[in-house]
Structure 1
Amino acid sequence: MRILFITPYPAGRAPSQRFRFEQYLPALTANGHKYQEEAFLSEETWAILYKPGHSLSKALGILGGMLRRTALLARVSAFDFVFVHREAAPVGPPVFEWLLAKVLRKKIIYDFDDAIWLPNTSENNKIAAGVKWHHKVASVCSWAYKNSCGNSYLAAYARQFNPNTVVNPTTIDTVHLHNQVRDQARPGRLVIGWTGTHSTLKYLEQIVPVLARLEAEGLDFEFRVISNQPPNCRCAH
């Protein structure tokens, strides 16, 4: 079986891709399947995407991604399934998904692990917010052969448009990839962790009261944030 993975980001760069499917790619190969991963963003565009400025380079990077997607359409006939993670293109309507499903008649596995149909504007993406076309998620869900959703909330949304929807939780490999640094059973101070990117740091404010309550109840813990930018909230103090 040949599987085409259509992704927003370069391979190995985004946590959602690593945990949703990239960690399983060696298993596909071991079982005789072949795959190809095609990112919308190049490594060069990814490196500057969330940095201030570089407007021309970012625009050219988006244009380059659109051209690569267009060229890819000529090669999808060689694949049995097309796995679309989040979206085929970060801006505009779901043109590529429509062509894949309705014109080329490919079986699409549509995968998402966030409520990506809800607008989420930050200082870094406010210029592109008007062309992100969040409501395209419903259309892609309806065209998909099957929807793969990270939790039951996401699956409930997808099932409004397509009953062929499964809950596919985001997992980590605790045997081969993770949890090898130290013995988690070793006694020590409790660590509560949060991981995300600049676009979701604002949600930390919602858990500050919970952390304060735990502290008031005498729980001795350390709260760690893993992100590409430092948090700007009360939890950082």
Structure 2
Amino acid sequence: RKDYLDAMVEIAHAAGSLVIFDEVISLRLGYSGAQGLWSITPDLTALGKIIGGGFPVGAVGGRADVMAVFDPTRGKPALPHGGTFTANPVTMRAGLAAMRALTPASFAHLDAIGSLLRDGITASLARHGLNGQCVGLGSLFKVHFPALPITDYRSVYPGASERTKIDLFHKGLLDRGVLSASYGLFALSTSMTEEDAREILSASDGALAAIAAKQ
């Protein structure tokens, strides 16, 4: 919720603290990451995963005055930073290729495929009379089986019966040729097509039908 994030930024700055966004995963939500979606500029941002083009990678960036502590151009930096694999040429080359491929158009494609899947799985849950929700943004979404709306960590954390349904859903997808994370998470890629999405929806519907039959 944007109002929550706005309030956290205001409270942090009022206390003299820096606002740091962990966008290691959420950068994939849009061309400017989650902070772009909610129009919030943090003081520092932690990055990883997609910026390495498949190679292990991590990065941090932020306001010029904050990042100045790492600046070696005016003598010894206030906070030296380096490591054995810092600026590894292979990772940097792969990361640059990935960043060039992740254009606004590619994110629009991921948004469209993600929306198609979320809407379709939500419809399947309703069709089979299952308490469940398919929530997420862009190229990321997850299937939950609680009766109540997802609003916070407590409502996300699965009980025993929900964990059973998640396990059955995962196995049902595997039996139908679809690999998701074992806890119901889907992470889409730019190479996926609408046809791929339709195949996932068919597998998901079959898996959910099997769960409903066991109730």
Q: TM-score, normalised by structure 1?
A: 0.23
Larger radius of gyration: 2
The structure with more helix, counted as a fraction of residues = 2
Q: TM-score, normalised by structure 2?
A: 0.25
The structure with more strand, counted as a fraction of residues = 1
